[in-house]
Chains A and B, each alone.
Chain A
Amino acid sequence: MTLLAIRDVHKSYGALEVLKGIDLTVEAGEIVGFIGASGSGKSTLLRCINHMEAPTRGEVLLEGETVGVKKVGDRHVPRSSAELSQQRRKMAMVFQHFNLWPHKTALENVMEGPVVVQKIEREKARAKALAALARVGLADKADSYPSRLSGGQQQRVGIARALALEPQIILFDEPTSALDPELVNEVLAVIQGLANDGMTLIIVTHEMRFARDVCDRVVFLDKGRIADIGPPSHIFGATANARTQEFVRNYYG
């Protein structure tokens, strides 16, 4: 079942064209990795999926519904703030710099979405949030403020915050890039766990080994285009694409 369809997505900032026409579909339960050099457009593409960035051309469909815009006649008009919000919470996001809200505890960070957006009763939301924290191994840190948590712990809270929304997809934007090397694995282990549970994940990453081991499909972006795509055995092995080979070789060292 196709969950997400990206159709001819372009994104420009002034004269700078970052995405030059991306087509991609993601099936339910699939783990897709975006790899590529800095400036290749992988983060921008991820941010176009939940309309954090509005594509300049093309469209993104979640279960057949255009994200961020809707068709009126044959024109695209922006969706209302409320409509876009409902779509966004189905595509929870995990950020490179965690972006936990510093004035809320770990538990409150996780509860915020269910309580404020989904209007779930406080007690139920609390139980749900605690379950999400337990799933990332941080039930004991529920009452800690983000400033008291390590980077790895903060990112796991970030993942719990995404999980509590019960999204259809989780979008990871370089989830381990801001972490000290010894903290990377605890975060990757959590993501691996989600993958094993059958969640649909899209992961922008520089962790090539992780992409190889966890992803069902890897997308190699180069200068705003999909230069290569396929299962890890293709990208990290059989591919005939010279750019992919060069990039992968550089990263493996």
Chain B
Amino acid sequence: MEYDWNFAIVWDYRAVLLRGLLYTVMLAAITIVTSMILGLVLALLRGSKVPFVYPVISTMISVVRAVPVLVLLVWMYYCLPIITGLKLEGFTTVVIALSIYSSAFFAEIFRGGIQSIDRGHIEAAQSVGMTRGQVFQRIVAPLAFQRIFPPLVNQCILVLKNTTLAGYVAVPELLYLGQQISVRTFRPLELLTVVAVLFVVTIVPLTLAAEYFEKKYREKYFR
């Protein structure tokens, strides 16, 4: 099969593509921060002993996880305004939808981490007189963080890639702009390739940094 690759055209659109990449990274960064915070709150609430909190939160998490993220996003964009009368901008809708979706996963990662901590380490903290908050902050959180670091990185990468769905509601992230350009230039293969490369060069260094950090951490405490 013959195909006449032409990346010169892509080069002409480099500014647009970089803008798209920037948008994608920004979208992902905001979503990661909000969904981690939301996820942590959900994980802590799920462990609470207040009646009804646990079933309510775990049902919420199960429901959100069961809905395909694209369906959730498009539904929020088109149905929510009809139901609530509230019309949000595309960008805001994407951040909210992705945050709700990802927070369910982050919540489960956090919960797993918190539950994996040896009872003895918690009891030792209680025995020196730490309050519940201090036990969490000083002992449980740092130990759990070290344990959940790999799945946490994993989830962050998924969030970054899920931002490509924002194009469905016309938010100008990288893939959306790539597709726009390919429609104009009739060069979808080149653009898809470049979009893929841009994702790789964004994500791989982050992965390497995460691996380095994890290695240092292990060397320091658990050799």
> A interface vs B, CB < 8 Å?
50, 52, 81-82, 85-86, 88-89, 91-93, 95, 97, 99-103, 112-113, 116-118, 145, 147-148, 158, 161-162, 165
Contact = CB atoms under 8 A, between A and B. Distances in A.
Contacts of A147: 221-223
B124 A88 contact: no
B14 interface: no
B134 A102 contact: no
Interface in B133-157: 133-134, 138-139, 142-143, 146
A165 B121 contact: no
A92 B123 CA distance: 11
B15 interface: no
A86 B128 CA distance: 9
Interface centre among A86, A103, A162 (most CB of B within 10 A): A103
B62 interface: no
B130 A52 contact: no
Contacts of A99: 118, 120-121, 123-124
A102 B221 CA distance: 7
B143 A101 contact: yes
Nearest to A80: B131
Given A89-B128, A100-B124, A116-B130, 17 more contacts: A81-B131, A88-B128, A93-B123, A93-B124, A99-B121, A101-B139, A102-B121, A103-B221, A112-B128, A116-B138, A117-B129, A117-B130, A117-B134, A145-B220, A148-B223, A161-B124, A165-B128
A172 to B, nearest CB: 12
Interface string B198-218: 000000000000000000000
B138 to A, nearest CB: 6
Contacts of A116: 128, 130, 134, 138
Interface size classification for chain B: 20 to 34
B84 interface: no
Contacts of B129: 85-86, 88-89, 113, 117-118, 165
A101 B121 contact: yes
Contacts of B222: 102, 145, 147
B132 interface: yes
B126 interface: yes
Instruction: Classify the secondary structure of B's interface with A.
Output: helix
A165 B129 CA distance: 9
Given A95-B124, A103-B143, A85 B131 contact: yes
A86 B131 CA distance: 9
Nearest to B118: A99
Given A102-B221, A147-B222, A88 B127 contact: yes
Nearest to B134: A116
Contacts of A118: 129
Contacts of B126: 52, 85, 88
A242 B138 CA distance: 49
Contacts of B125: 101, 112
CB-CB nearest 4 A-B residue pairs: A89-B129, A113-B128, A99-B124, A93-B127
Contacts of B133: 81
Given A52-B123, A117-B134, A147-B222, A103 B128 contact: no
A112 B146 CA distance: 19
Contacts of A81: 131-133
Nearest to A82: B131
B223 A85 contact: no
A103 B146 contact: yes
B216 to A, nearest CB: 13
A85 B130 contact: yes
A91 B128 CA distance: 8
Contacts of B143: 101-103
B127 A112 contact: no
B120 A95 contact: yes
A30 to B, nearest CB: 20
Interface in B42-82: none
A106 to B, nearest CB: 13
Nearest to A148: B223
B221 A95 contact: no
Nearest to B127: A93
Interface centre among A93, A99, A162 (most CB of B within 10 A): A99
Contacts of B139: 101
A251 B139 CA distance: 38
Interface in B73-127: 118, 120-121, 123-127
